[in-house]
A = this chain, B = another copy of it.
Amino acid sequence: MSPEQFRQHGHEVVDWIADYWARIGSFPVRSEVAPGEVRAALPPTAPEQGEPFAAVLADLDRVVLPGTTHWQHPGFFGYFPANTSGPSVLGDLVSAGLGVQGMSWVTSPAATELEQHVMDWLADLLGLPESFRSTGTGGGVVQDSSSGANLVALLAALHRASGGTTLRHGVEPDRATVYVSSQTHSSMEKAVRIAGLGTDSIRIIEVDEDLAMLPGALAARLERDVARGYTPVLVCATVGTTSTTAIDPLAELGPICRKHGVWLHVDAAYAGVSAVVPELRELQAGVEWADSYTTDAHKWLLTGFDATLFWVADRAALTGALGILPEYLRNAATEAGAVVDFRDWQIPLGRRFRSLKLWFVLRWYGAEGLREHIRSHVALAQELAGWAEADERFEITTPHPLSLVCLRPRWADGVDADVATMTLLERLNDGGEVFLTHTTVRGQVVLRIAVGAPATTRAHVERLWALLRESHDWLAADFAAAAAERDAARAAERAAEAPAPEAQPAEA
């Protein structure tokens, strides 16, 4: 494709996206296709000859959009949001157009230095400790996901705990232990498996009634494990768990970790970016105890996937675990020690110029724009929680400090509450106007409502609230009618079974 063809078709694609964003509210949020339907619309083999671009573009509407669940839809309240924005898309577009590899400083210095710079800016904006700055002992780097960040944190912790012996000798699954709570994201368990430790090395620490890790329980478990000869490697504390945005108390966990020399990793994948708002920073008080920290700009900070912000207080542990330098990558800048090579801070070798989109977002919105974005969603979520608290049809069973609200619908006695709640969820999602997901809290199903799509306004939250109440009323009435029918049927049955005096056979 020549530059001039690209100019033409590029304008067409930009227009297609602008139109898509303008009409996104008209789609059902959740795709309605059945398994296999998208593939059935595609030819069985790749074309032998090239096709006109118009044919490709037409298939976006014919094949792709019907199979799309619209994460940017204002009625998307599922999972956690997956924000994107105009400046993010355009920063990514520049990155794709440049097509550079940022694996080493020398392979495109701007890719490394802009990333270092933007990560320092973000550390400032989030009020993170000095040790995370590139000017200190640590530094920030963009990772592919908080799953990836949790894994590299564990690898760095294993490296430090072993004094580097893991490099040659591998891990000791029978000795190494990793500490999480029942609410920790599953990616930490996955990281433990990937790193060769096996899930038996995981210690699940008890949580309090708000689902936050209990410092006392952690301290006791660490003491016991150390006494038994285990080597505690890493504690994963979460700021804003995936299930309910519970907050593990960093200020209390930190000193316990420090006492035992165990690496404190903070997984703030969703909630961390909220710290751009000073009044929300208290949620992660004690973050200065962290050895590493991850939060996703691609969830709630107007930046498209992937843009995980990962910081480490001691970069030497990270590069000790992940650094490798074959001959074909040797170069003067690296040998002189004058530069950072981000390939040694991550799992893959290659890397895209991901800081461009962060830079575009930071400059277009400014710090104030990002604060306004976060504040508005938190306010909407708090409003929704207030409505639910005042309504006897719903209850709120967990704290909601940010923009996720978990609702437990109340049902009449005799109704299987979990089945009823899942039925309500499916009914709402089938309707197409909104999309939410669920979780379990203390064994009971609850609805998760994550406010956070950039296009979501108060009107959308009001509409969701109306749909929740309507659906609850409809289902409750349905259950009541069914119960009445059952009662009537049972009464009839009892009547039928009861010996009819006139039908009593005469005793022989």
Are the CB atoms of B348 and A49 closer together than 8 Å?
no
> CB-nearest residue of chain B relative to A106?
B69
A31 at the interface (CB under 8 A from B): yes
- Taking CB as reference atom, which chain B residue is nearest A191? B347
Q: How far is the CB of A434 from chain B (nearest CB, A)?
A: 16
Partner of A145, one of B99, B349, B359: B349
User: Closest residue to A92 on the B side, CB-wise?
Assistant: B96
Contact A47 B197 (CB under 8 A): no
Residues of B within 8 A of A111 (CB): 67-68
The reply to whether the CB of A364 lies closer than 8 angstroms to some CB of chain B is: yes
Contact assessment for A366 and B46 in the assembled complex, using a CB-CB cutoff below 8 Å: yes
A367 B100 Cβ-Cβ under 8 A: no
Known: A38-B110, A347-B151. A1 touches B86 (CB 8 A): yes
Taking a contact as CB atoms closer than 8 A, the residue among B51, B85, B347, B366 that contacts A48 in the complex is: B366
Identify which of B9, B85, B101, B195 contacts A79 (C-beta below 8 A): B101
Given contacts A46-B367, A155-B194, A193-B166, are A14 and B20 in contact (CB under 8 A)?
Answer: no
B79 and A113 form a contact (CB under 8 A): no
Residues of B within 8 A of A195 (CB): 194-196
Q: Mark A231-263, 1 if CB is under 8 A from B, else 0.
A: 000000000001100000000000000000000
* Least Cβ–Cβ distance between A125 and chain B, in angstroms: 6
Cβ–Cβ < 8 Å partners of A88 in chain B: 96
By the criterion of a CB under 8 Å from any partner CB, how many residues of chain A are at the interface? 153
Query: Which B residues are in CB contact (< 8 Å) with A173?
Result: 169-171, 196
Q: Is the CB of B100 within 8 A of A13?
A: no
A36 touches B113 (CB 8 A): yes
Count of this chain's copies in the oligomeric assembly: 2
> In the complex the two chains form, is B109's CB within 8 Å of A347's CB?
no
**A368 interfacial contact with B, CB 8 Å:** yes
Interface residues of A in 178-217 (CB under 8 A from B): 185-187, 189-190, 193-201
Q: Which of B69, B101, B348 contacts A144 (CB 8 A)?
A: B348
Q: Which residues 432-475 of A have a CB within 8 angstroms of B?
A: 437-440, 448
Complexed CA–CA distance, A69 and B99 (Å): 10
A52 to B: closest C-beta gap in Å: 9
If A92-B92, A97-B21 touch, whether A364 touches B197 (CB-CB below 8 Å) is no
Indicate if A295 sits at the interface (CB-CB under 8 A).
Answer: no
CB of A109, distance to nearest CB on chain B (Å): 4
Docked-complex contact A89 and B93, CB < 8 angstroms: yes
Assess whether B100 is in contact with A96, with CB atoms less than 8 Å apart. no
Q: Are A347 and B347 in contact (CB under 8 A)?
A: yes
Indicate if A10 sits at the interface (CB-CB under 8 A).
yes
Q: By the criterion CB–CB under 8 Å, are A64 and B114 in contact?
A: yes
A477 at interface by CB-CB < 8 Å: no
The reply to whether B3 and A22 contact each other, CB–CB distance below 8 Å, is yes
Q: What B residues does A306 contact at CB under 8 A?
A: 348, 350, 352
- A18 to B437 alpha-carbon distance, docked (Å): 42
From B2, B18, B242, B304, contact of A328 by CB (8 A):
B242
Residue contact B155 to A110, C-beta cutoff 8 Å: no
- CB distance B440 to A327 under 8 Å? yes
Contacts A79-B328, A99-B72 given; indicate if A38 touches B200 (C-beta within 8 A): no
Asked whether A108 lies within 8 Å of B349 as measured between CB atoms, the reply is no
Segment touching B, from A53-61, A279-287, A495-503: A53-61
Of A116-124, A309-317, A386-394, the one contacting chain B is A116-124
**What residues of B have a CB within 8 angstroms of the CB of A329 in the complex?**
186
A140 and B98 CA atoms in complex are apart in Å by 28
User: A489 within 8 Å of B by Cβ?
Assistant: no
14 new A-B pairs (CB below 8 Å) besides A6-B86, A10-B89, A169-B200?
A1-B364, A3-B19, A10-B86, A46-B124, A56-B87, A64-B94, A68-B111, A69-B108, A71-B101, A88-B96, A147-B350, A185-B326, A186-B326, A190-B324
Provide 11 A-B residue pairs closer than 8 Å at the C-beta atoms, listed in order of the A residue: A38-B110, A67-B113, A69-B100, A71-B100, A82-B350, A99-B304, A99-B305, A170-B201, A187-B324, A196-B196, A306-B350
